[in-house]
């Protein structure tokens, strides 16, 4: 049974506070996507084959520690029933360690060489990812303890979208400017990471201070039946919307991580203007804000899933057009930045709005199976996203070696430059198209099915009231 600590609705302070969570976490996590590969190859001089292996291990660890963290929170709360809540105490424990480990990761390995450096780097990354998960899982789970209605959940999801967008953009404004000033040096990366970690820590503390677990369990159950593997497999068999989301998760995250991992190479080596990345980040912020504001209104008219399909298809077409242009014309950096920013902005609509579709997949699963298994569905969807991240990150680094990239070289060969163009522009076009295919041919929640889901939910509520 749940009790309500605050009978009123969500306040603006609650919404802003929740937005600060993803904003704070992304201040350091964003650097682990689009900037970190340059740190590995150009500062630490890690061999691309060795790096790809390390990335595979790190990403597997990152995927595994998510469910482990969730289970740990459940177990601790069931035993101790902390009066401060189930999720927020973990925020206070983990936020300082995220900031510290981020700074250590970007500085300490530079003091070592060879095998020792690889060992130090390996454990620095493991520690950072562990503490980041310790912050991120309760931060995401906090939504269920703060929101009680569909409107509240939508409001917090939108707030998280704004926070995550800003938290991803600020580091991409700070770090490229430092790299442009100091070059690919430990000084540039160390200063940038320290600034981002300090700002992120402040945001995380504001998240802790301005959020509240309004709906908590009076008596957490220790006898809850664990999720069975067969239940998860059955979800894939009977829940086509969830299967579509999983395909989308793999495709969209592969696209994101290939592009972000190799983005600096596109701007620095192909276009010869790495500082332009800061402008790209600045441009993407208003595009993201506009998308978050107008997409709910458009979705009300055309449907959320249809809106996502339109955006994905246009985005893929823009990337294909941009790649064709790059192969035959000397495209200016400013033109590339504008076109790629618009294409990524359109693709990002599916990322911002996917959480609403996850909710629909959960409702659909309850209708067809009689079970409401938010945990297994959300966890499995998150796992598919991790798979996409792992594939995109590791494959991008391996491909960098395959195309003959020479770290520190004044210029790269024509074949290498063309390879970077294909990886950064053509790959997103293909994987975004794959995501569109999932929603076009696998997703099966039509207006008629949605009406049945609404009737099922109404019938269930009436039965509970009786």
How much is the mean pLDDT over the chain? 84
What's the token pair of residue 13?
């302070």
Which CB contacts under 8 angstroms, 24+ apart, belong to 455-459?
456/366, 456/367, 457/363
Q: What is the pLDDT of residue 462?
A: 64
What's the token pair of residue 224?
């809850």
Could you tell me the pLDDT band of residue 214, with boundaries at 50, 70 and 90? confident
- State whether 190 and 250 are in the same domain: no
Neighbour-count burial for 327-366, b at 16+ CB within 10 Å, e otherwise: eeeebebeebbebbbbbbbbbbbbbbbbbbbbbbbbbbbb
- State whether 117 and 169 are in the same domain: yes
Please check the confidence at residue 225 and state whether its pLDDT lies above 60: no
pLDDT digits (tens, 9 = 90+) for 274-293: 888 878 877 877 877 787 77
Q: What is the pLDDT of residue 67?
A: 63
Q: Provide the strand spans (E) within 46-138.
A: none
| Continuous H helices in 184-228 | 186-209
Does residue 95 belong to any structural domain of this protein? Answer: yes
Query: Phi/psi at 87 (nearest 5 deg)?
Result: -110, -45
The span from the CA of 301 to the CA of 312, in Å, is 18
Q: What is the pLDDT of residue 374?
A: 53
- Residue whose tokens read 């000033």: 181
- Helix (H, G, I), strand (E, B), or coil: what is residue 84? coil
Q: What is the pLDDT of residue 232?
A: 63
Q: What is the pLDDT of residue 223?
A: 45
- State whether 296 and 337 are in the same domain: yes
For residues 347-352, give the mean pLDDT. 86
Please check the confidence at residue 451 and state whether its pLDDT lies above 80: yes
Give the residue with greater pLDDT, 360 vs 413.
413
- State whether 244 and 172 are in the same domain: no
- State whether 183 and 242 are in the same domain: no
- Helix (H, G, I), strand (E, B), or coil: what is residue 178? helix
Could you tell me the pLDDT band of residue 227, with boundaries at 50, 70 and 90? very low
Containing H/E element for 427? helix 427-437
In the chain, % of residues over pLDDT 90? 45
Residue 53: CATH number of its domain: 1.20.1250.20
Boundary (domain end) residue, out of 212, 242, 270 = 212
Whole-prediction pTM? 0.70
- State whether 260 and 182 are in the same domain: no
Does residue 224 belong to any structural domain of this protein? Answer: no
Q: What is the pLDDT of residue 216?
A: 53
Of 164-178, 212-226, 395-409, give the lowest mean pLDDT range.
Answer: 212-226
Boundary (domain end) residue, out of 177, 212, 247 = 212
What's the token pair of residue 200?
């992120």
Does residue 116 belong to any structural domain of this protein? Answer: yes
The span from the CA of 405 to the CA of 416, in Å, is 6
Q: What is the pLDDT of residue 185?
A: 94
- State whether 299 and 395 are in the same domain: yes
Q: What is the pLDDT of residue 386?
A: 81
28 burial via Cβ count (<10 Å: 0-12, 13-18, 19+):
buried
Q: Please, which residues bridge with residue 3 across strands?
A: 216
Does residue 249 belong to any structural domain of this protein? Answer: yes
Q: How many domains would you assign to the chain?
A: 2
Please check the confidence at residue 355 and state whether its pLDDT lies above 80: no
Task: Look at residues 32, 20, 33 and name the one whose alpha carbon lies nearest to residue 139.
Answer: 20
Q: What is the pLDDT of residue 442?
A: 96
Please check the confidence at residue 346 and state whether its pLDDT lies above 80: yes
Of 64-68, 420-424, 428-432, give the lowest mean pLDDT range.
Answer: 64-68
Give the β-pairing of 2-4 and 215-217: antiparallel
Q: What is the pLDDT of residue 170?
A: 93
Give the residue with greater pLDDT, 131 vs 63.
131
For residues 123-145, give the mean pLDDT. 86
Q: DSSP for 341-395?
A: HHHHHHHHHHHHHHHHHHHHHHHHHHHHHS---HHHHHHHHHHHHHHHHHHHHHH
Could you tell me the pLDDT band of residue 1, with boundaries at 50, 70 and 90? very low
Give the residue with greater pLDDT, 8 vs 145.
145
Please check the confidence at residue 251 and state whether its pLDDT lies above 70: yes
- State whether 72 and 172 are in the same domain: yes
Q: What is the pLDDT of residue 302?
A: 81
The CA-based diameter of the chain, rounded to the nearest angstrom, is 75
Does residue 424 belong to any structural domain of this protein? Answer: yes
Q: What is the pLDDT of residue 230?
A: 57
Does residue 5 belong to any structural domain of this protein? Answer: no
Could you tell me the pLDDT band of residue 211, with boundaries at 50, 70 and 90? very high
- State whether 144 and 258 are in the same domain: no
Does residue 193 belong to any structural domain of this protein? Answer: yes
Please check the confidence at residue 226 and state whether its pLDDT lies above 70: no
- State whether 242 and 350 are in the same domain: yes
Give the residue with greater pLDDT, 87 vs 70.
87
What's the token pair of residue 74?
């459940």
- State whether 281 and 145 are in the same domain: no
Q: DSSP for 287-339?
A: HHHHHHHHHHHHHHHH-HHHHHHHHHHHHHHHHHHHHHHHHHS---HHHHHHH
Please check the confidence at residue 375 and state whether its pLDDT lies above 80: no
Domain boundaries, position 333: 231-460
Give the residue with greater pLDDT, 325 vs 464.
325
Torsion angle of the four alpha carbons 380, 384, 385, 386, in this order, in degrees rounded to the nearest 10: 100
The span from the CA of 284 to the CA of 291, in Å, is 10
Please check the confidence at residue 433 and state whether its pLDDT lies above 80: yes
Q: What is the pLDDT of residue 231?
A: 59
In the chain, % of residues over pLDDT 70? 86
pLDDT digits (tens, 9 = 90+) for 43-57: 999 998 898 889 888
Does residue 4 belong to any structural domain of this protein? Answer: no
Contact 179, 188 (CB under 8 A): yes
- State whether 437 and 290 are in the same domain: yes
């Amino acid at each position: 049974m749940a009790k309500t600590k605050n009978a009123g609705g969500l306040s603006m302070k609650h919404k802003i506070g929740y937005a600060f969570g993803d904003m704070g976490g992304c201040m350091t996590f964003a650097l682990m996507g689009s900037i970190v590969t340059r740190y590995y190859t150009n500062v630490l001089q890690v061999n691309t084959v060795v790096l790809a292996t390390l990335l595979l291990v790190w990403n597997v660890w990152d995927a595994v520690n998510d469910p482990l963290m969730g289970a740990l929170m459940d177990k601790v709360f069931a035993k101790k029933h902390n009066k401060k809540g189930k999720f927020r105490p973990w925020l206070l424990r983990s936020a300082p360690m995220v900031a510290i480990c981020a700074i250590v990761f970007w500085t300490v390995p530079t003091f070592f060489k060879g095998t020792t450096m690889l060992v130090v780097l390996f454990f620095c990354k493991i520690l950072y990812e562990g503490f980041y998960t310790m912050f991120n899982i309760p931060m995401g789970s906090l939504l269920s303890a703060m929101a009680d209605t569909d409107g509240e959940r939508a409001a917090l999801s939108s707030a998280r979208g704004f926070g995550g967008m800003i938290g991803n953009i600020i580091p991409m404004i700070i770090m490229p400017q430092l790299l442009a000033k100091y070059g690919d040096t430990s000084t540039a990366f160390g200063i940038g990471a320290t600034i981002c970690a300090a700002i992120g820590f402040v945001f995380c503390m504001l998240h802790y201070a301005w959020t509240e677990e309004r709906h908590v369990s009076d008596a957490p159950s220790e006898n809850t039946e664990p999720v069975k593997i067969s239940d998860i497999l059955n979800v894939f068999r009977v829940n086509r919307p969830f299967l579509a989301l999983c395909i989308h998760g793999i495709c969209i995250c592969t696209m994101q991580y290939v592009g972000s991992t190799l983005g600096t190479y596109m701007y620095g080596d192909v276009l010869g203007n790495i500082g332009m990345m800061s402008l790209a980040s600045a441009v993407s912020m208003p595009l993201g804000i506009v998308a978050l504001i107008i997409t709910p209104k458009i979705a009300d008219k055309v449907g959320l899933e249809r809106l996502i399909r339109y955006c994905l298809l246009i985005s893929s077409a823009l990337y294909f057009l941009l790649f064709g242009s790059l192969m035959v014309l000397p495209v200016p950096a400013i033109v590339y930045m504008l076109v790629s920013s618009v294409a990524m902005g359109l693709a990002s609509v599916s990322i911002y709005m996917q959480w609403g579709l996850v909710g629909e997949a959960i409702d659909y699963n309850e209708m067809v199976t009689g079970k409401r298994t938010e945990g297994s569905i959300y966890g499995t969807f998150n796992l598919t996203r991790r798979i996409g991240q792992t594939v995109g990150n590791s494959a991008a680094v391996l491909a960098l070696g395959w195309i003959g990239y020479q770290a520190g070289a004044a210029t790269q060969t024509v074949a290498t430059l063309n390879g970077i163009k294909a990886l950064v522009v053509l790959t997103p076009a293909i994987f975004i198209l794959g995501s569109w295919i999932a929603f076009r041919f696998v997703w099966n929640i039509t207006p008629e099915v949605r009406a049945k889901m609404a009737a099922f939910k109404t019938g269930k509520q009436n039965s509970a009231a009786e």
